[in-house]
Amino acid sequence: MKIKKILNNNAAIVVEDNQEKIVIGSGIAFNKGKNDLINRNKIDKLFVMKNDDHAEQLLPQISVEHMALTQEIIQHAEDSLQVKLNPHIFIALADHLSFAIERYENGIFIKNKLLSEIRILYKKEFDIGIWAINYIEDKIGIRMPIDEAAFIALHLHTASVPSGNLQVSLRQTSIINEIIHIIQDYFSIHLEEGGLSYERLITHLRDTLYRTDETTERTMDEEMLIMVRKKFPASYNCAETIAEHLSQQHGLLLSTEEIGYITIHIERLRSRKG
């Protein structure tokens, strides 16, 4: 494994088996030069470079301190989730954290509009995000808001599922946020977060979007569907409004059965008020 290009003292591009790879480790490239061999015992992270990777541009801009923070957060996440995260999360999360820390140092705070949904949909990852912002405060004295825990959670979730894609996760969570606003506007109510009915609705909507993306359906007995439509007309009309929004804005088509299931969740949420 020979060095092709040094990115900084802790990262280098190497060539092995005719493939370009990124190796990351504390001091792994210190006092090294092109064509020097890498000590495998110092490698903490290794991944094969793809054509769309920006690691070569990003890594030299990330401080050693921020890389170390990222490595510890990823290790804690892997231990907590009992899963090996996609190695590409190191670059994405290190870049995100480094930029976020720089923003907070300059007094710039960004709200996470999907905080409520992320907290419910990715609870384990969100708990790790809370651990991460506490860890960052302990190490460098910067206190990040809870919004940052949600950003970290989204990165962790994406890296923990096969073929995870951050944009897909973000899109689905954003759509759920839109649906919640539709329900609130339709009934002129504010949905209380944290209630069991609220969490069930959020989880069902996530599953609905997964099923829609996979073009699979759940079935509801026709008689049951007719009963739901007659018994809960307002909630059913709201569910139809949601279906129309998904079709027009996102090209997602919901079956009448799925509209029926959403109706039941909306009605439970309204009647129990969370």
Confidence of residue 216 (pLDDT cuts 50, 70, 90): very low
Report the range of poorest mean pLDDT among 4-8, 73-77, 211-215.
Answer: 211-215
Q: In the numeric block, which tokens belong to residue 11? A: 């990262």
Confidence of residue 274 (pLDDT cuts 50, 70, 90): very low
pTM value is 0.74
Report, in angstroms and rounded to the nearest whole number, the Rg of the chain calculated over CA atoms.
Answer: 23
Size (the chain), residues: 274
Q: In the numeric block, which tokens belong to residue 18? A: 């005719």
Secondary structure class of 81 (helix, strand, coil): helix
Mean pLDDT of all residues in 120-147: 95
Query: 113 Cβ partners below 8 Å, 6+ apart?
Result: 177
Helix (H) or strand (E) holding 24, with range, is strand 19-24
pLDDT value, residue 178: 95
Mean pLDDT of all residues in 204-210: 83
Mean pLDDT of all residues in 37-52: 76
Q: What is the pLDDT of residues 230-267, one digit of tens each?
A: 999 999 999 999 999 999 999 999 888 899 989 998 99
Average pLDDT, the chain: 86
Confidence of residue 133 (pLDDT cuts 50, 70, 90): very high
CA distance 93 to 40: 23
CA distance 45 to 26: 10
- Answer whether residue 164 shows pLDDT above 80: no
